Amino acid sequence: MEQQDFDCRLVIKNLYPSLHNVERKIADYILSDPKEVTGMTIAQFASAVKSSESSIVRFCQMLSFKGFSQLKINIACNLTPDINLICEDVCRTDSNETIIDKVFASGIRVLEDTRKFIKTSDFNKVIDVMYRANKIEFYGVYTSAVIAQDAHNRLRRIGFPVYAITDPYEARISASMLEKGNVAVGISHTGRTKDTIDILKMAKASGADTIAITSTLKSPIVDAADVSLVICSDEQQIFREAVSSRLAHIVLLDAICVCLGSLKYDETSKRIKENTNIINEMRY
């Protein structure tokens, strides 16, 4: 991967909850003033964050860089002018108008960051395996159940052999009956939902290809899947992360549905037209 192909600050934000104290000090400095970091030597940066140069190097290696110089190059390549979005967390004293601004700004920022964050190679793998599948099952429990059901509805309407199972017991039974040529898609914001992870493991043991959609790079569901798509959410924004991450999951799944539909464009267009006619007959 070329150094400018991803923004390391997005990775740092995603990994932030799993960082220890020294790593968080390094992360905080980079995120608070990335432009200043690009002009510092490793000695100056180590002094600023009150850490050792070896800790800085290990932090860079965690992000897949050889050293501090590559980290600075990546930051410099991805520096863009600040846009007029209010991205602070919600405060007790915020007015309704301010909360609306913050929630919408959060959604916009998460979608923009996720587009930069998603690896095109992984996305292409997902499209390929789902297009060739003779059966696709979406698994999501609790708040992810609605997202799994929405993806099912979208793909079913354009003719894909898709199912959504949101009951943990039924999902386990169904996953155990999958086989080679089937695809299991597990959706979990935290990536730590035990039910969904166990279901994916069962699906893989049955011979199915497994896909994880989550918001956390270092999470058990990523380890349980053959390929993962990770959206970019800011876990530090306590009040809004759930809303913005669900939005990003839905948009990501919409992108998957559109890509799959475009691979059989004429058939998809015909089905959409037929579906629209049926639905219109049910409307006043």
**What are the tens digits of pLDDT across the range 43-76?**
999 999 999 999 999 999 999 999 999 999 999 9
**C-alpha–C-alpha distance, residues 252 and 267, integer Å:** 22
Percent of the chain at pLDDT exceeding 90? 67
The CATH architecture that domain 8-77 belongs to is: Orthogonal Bundle (1.10)
Q: Is the predicted pLDDT of residue 112 greater than 90, yes or no?
A: no
**C-alpha–C-alpha distance, residues 269 and 20, integer Å:** 51
Against a cut of 0.75, is the pTM above it? yes
Domain-wise residue ranges, the chain:
8-77, 117-279
On whether the CB atoms of residues 203 and 137 are closer than 8 A, the answer is yes
Q: Is the predicted pLDDT of residue 216 greater than 60, yes or no?
A: yes
What integer is the mean pLDDT of 94-112? 86
Give the number of C-alpha atoms closer than 13 A to the C-alpha of residue 77, restricted to the C-beta side: 13
Q: Is the predicted pLDDT of residue 120 greater than 60, yes or no?
A: yes
Q: What is the pLDDT of residue 1?
A: 43
What integer is the mean pLDDT of 248-268? 95
More confident residue, 236 or 221: 221
**C-alpha–C-alpha distance, residues 140 and 199, integer Å:** 10
Strands (E), the chain: 135-139, 162-165, 182-188, 209-214, 227-230
What integer is the mean pLDDT of 97-114? 86
What integer is the mean pLDDT of 207-234? 92
β-bridge mates for residue 185, sequence order: 138, 211
Q: Is the predicted pLDDT of residue 197 greater than 60, yes or no?
A: yes
Topology match between the domains 8-77 and 117-279: no
Q: What is the pLDDT of residue 202?
A: 97
More confident residue, 233 or 171: 171
Q: What is the pLDDT of residue 282?
A: 85
**C-alpha–C-alpha distance, residues 34 and 60, integer Å:** 14
**CATH number of the structural domain 117-279:** 3.40.50.10490
